[in-house]
Amino acid sequence: MRMRMTRSGLSAAAETPKADGIPLRRSIISDHLKPLRRNIPKRFFPDKKHETVRVSRARCDTMGAMKNIRVLLWDIDNTLLDFLAAEKAAIRQGFSEFGLGECTDGMLADYSSINRRYWEKLERGEITKKQVLEGRFAEFFGKYALNADVPAFNDRYQILLGDTICFMDDGYEIVRSLKGKILQGAVTNGTRTAQEKRLKNSGLGELFDLIFISEDIGVEKPGKGFFDAVLKESGRLLGEMPDPREMMIVGDSLTSDMLGGVQNGLVTCWYNPGGMENKDHLPLDHEIRNLHEVPAILGFVPA
């Protein structure tokens, strides 16, 4: 089941809730991680220090099946939010605004394939983020002989991505149900422009205690530098450095989320609704078809 939202915001039934249970304090990014501060808006660095989040090992031992999990990390695109739905709407709106004619389902499928290939190259460290963002559209437009300003189209596309919010498996309600029970963070390779708007419009931004965007960190998932930043900031909020095996990452990408989790020693939970094959035979801890299985893994509710 997927919840849909419009750019007008949350419905009355999905208002951002107040935290209960363990007091958590939201942090976008640490003010002492380097090189994170480069080019990040000043609002991300509050003058006051964050409160310590009281999620002790002793308390975690009473919380369920995965007794040692203290930090839950969520991928955003195609895990909590349906990126393909947002992509489809943004591309078609962009075509309309730039006078490029109709964008058919076949063209969208071609773009998605091209886009995925560029992101996989980025994850392997073969190209830069800028090459991804502009290269995919240059190749796509070239294939269909479309005359468009690639940088301008990409800039507009990043903004349009935030206008369509579609949750995967009641993602909002699941994250909300865990708020105050465990430290939760968003981990994403998406652009800052797109992800800030998507997190705001979805209401998820107000639920997370930590938000990590690779563009701010300077390293993409699955890179070690990305997860080093996550570990360090999580430790700052917990009041002590967690063991990587006290952190679980939930995501749909084997090459980004799961590989990063495996290489950095985290507990991994592969969100695989389509039943895809684990072709690289990554040693994963959990594989799920529905996000409702996550609280059950943590021991909070029955599966």
CATH for 133 = 1.10.150.240
Whole-structure pTM over 0.85, yes or no? no
Q: Are residues 70 and 181 in the same domain?
A: yes
For residue 116, pLDDT over 60 is answered with yes
Q: Using one digit for the tens of pLDDT, what is the confidence trace for 169-228?
A: 999 999 999 999 999 999 999 999 999 999 999 999 999 999 999 999 999 999 999 999
Higher-confidence residue: 6 or 103? 103
Proportion of the chain above pLDDT 90, given as a percent: 75
Work out how many domains the chain is built from and give that number.
Answer: 2
Query: Catalytic site residues?
Result: 75
pLDDT per residue over 40-84, tens digit each?
Answer: 333 222 333 333 333 434 333 333 345 589 999 999 999 999 999
> Domain span at residue 69?
4-82+167-298
Would 273 be classed as within a structural domain?
yes
Q: Same domain, yes or no, for 202 and 280?
A: yes
Instruction: Quote the pLDDT of residue 257.
Output: 97
Q: What pLDDT sits at residue 66?
A: 56
Same domain, yes or no, for 93 and 77? no
Closest CA to 268 of 244, 235, 296, 292: 244
pLDDT recorded at residue 67: 58
| Whole-number pLDDT of residue 68 | 87
| Of the residues 144, 163, 182, the one at which a domain ends | 163
- pLDDT for residue 41: 34
